Structure 1
Amino acid sequence: MNKARLQGLSAGIIFTTTIFAAFYYGTGSFEDTTPTAEEAKETFQPKDPDMDSMEKEASKKNPSIVTYTIKVKTNMTATEIADSLSKEKIINDAAEFEAYMNDRDFSKKIQIGEFVVTNNMTYRQ
């Protein structure tokens, strides 16, 4: 690259930066950009995308909480877990829970142990 092209490129970058700076500072859009504490909490608070509207409605309609301790054993499948949770009235639809587990590859990461679950938990929980 010769000297004239390099100077032309540099001038173009400076010119473009000047236009962007003039627009940004000239419009006043940078003022009052500090969020309030409530806005910051709302922005950065994790939301659970896995809890759909049906689960929200079910938790509102069903005030009685059912608790169950599930014992996950070696080589236990997602189908067996779903059937067990459905039988104990923790989940409404075993097939839907199994599909959820398979879609997110959670069925390959099942942990062995005893877990306390309730009927108002989301599938992810």
Structure 2
Amino acid sequence: MSKLGLRAFSAGIILATSIMGIMYYNEPKTVNTATVTDSDIEAYLSDQNHLVLIEKEEYDELLEIQSTHQETEKQEQTKAEVKIEEKIITKYILEITPGMNSLEISEVLEDVGVIKNAKELNTYILDNDLAKNIQIGSFTVTSEMTHKEIGDIITR
């Protein structure tokens, strides 16, 4: 860019800045003197289906009601948990016959309600190499027993 071009560019910037400054300071100043009152805000919020203003005392009452409701809910939940704790114990005499594998034994125990998941017991038996030690016969098992206890009983 030449010297003359640079001077023309600078002059354009100065001229544009001057015009914007003159317009800014010569524009009539309007001051919004309208005040917004509480009733205006409440009317606007109720028209727009938004929050409604309430007094602090009413807010505190609502918080107190909410906390008592939560306490009542916790008490009801505790009562429900006490009822859930009453557990039904299933006792079963397991007959292991020649040729039964660990999965078949696990499925029988699941079907009668001694265990909840046959695959878990079968995995436990296989992971601990108990499958080769399963004994033929009758064994008493209950739903309170762990997989380890059941494994110990059927591999004696």
State the TM-score, normalized to the length of structure 1. 0.50
Q: Which amino acid aligns with 1:95?
A: K
Partner of 1:78: 102
- Determine the structure 1 residue equivalent to 2:144: 120
Q: 1:102 to 1:62 in 2, by over 3 A?
A: farther
| Matched positions, count | 66
Q: 1:98 and 1:110, CA in 2 relative to 1: closer, same or farther beyond 3 A?
A: same
Aligned match of 1:98 in 122, 137, 146? Answer: 122
Considering only aligned residues, what root-mean-square deviation do their CA atoms show, in Å?
Answer: 1.5
In structure 2, distance between residues paired with 1:61 and 1:109: 35
| Higher RCO (CA-CA < 8 Å; seq separation 6+) | 1
Cα deviations by residue, 1:37-56 (Å, 9 ceiling, x for unpaired): xxxxxxxxxxxxxxxxxxxx
Separation in structure 2 between the aligned mates of residue 61 and residue 79 of structure 1, nearest angstrom:
30
* Percent identity (aligned): 33
Compared CA separation, residues 100 and 61, structure 1 to 2 (3 A):
farther
Gaps of 5+ in 1: 1-59
Match of 1:69 among 85, 93, 96: 93
Runs of 4+ in 1 over 3 A off after TM superposition: none
- Which is higher, the Rg of structure 1 or of structure 2? 2
- Structure 2 residues without counterparts, runs of 5 or longer: 1-83, 150-156
**1:89 partnered with 2:113:** yes
Task: Work out the CA distance in 2 between the residues paired with 1:107 and 1:61.
Answer: 34
Displacement of 1:80: 0.4
For residue 61 of structure 1, report the CA deviation from its aligned partner.
3.8
Provide the secondary structure at the position in 2 that maps to 1:124.
helix
Would the alpha carbon gap of residues 62 and 112 (structure 1) be closer, same or farther in structure 2, given more than 3 Å must change? farther
Deviations 1:49-99 (A, max 9, x none): xxxxxxxxxxx9462211011100112100100000000010000011100
TM-score (norm 2): 0.40
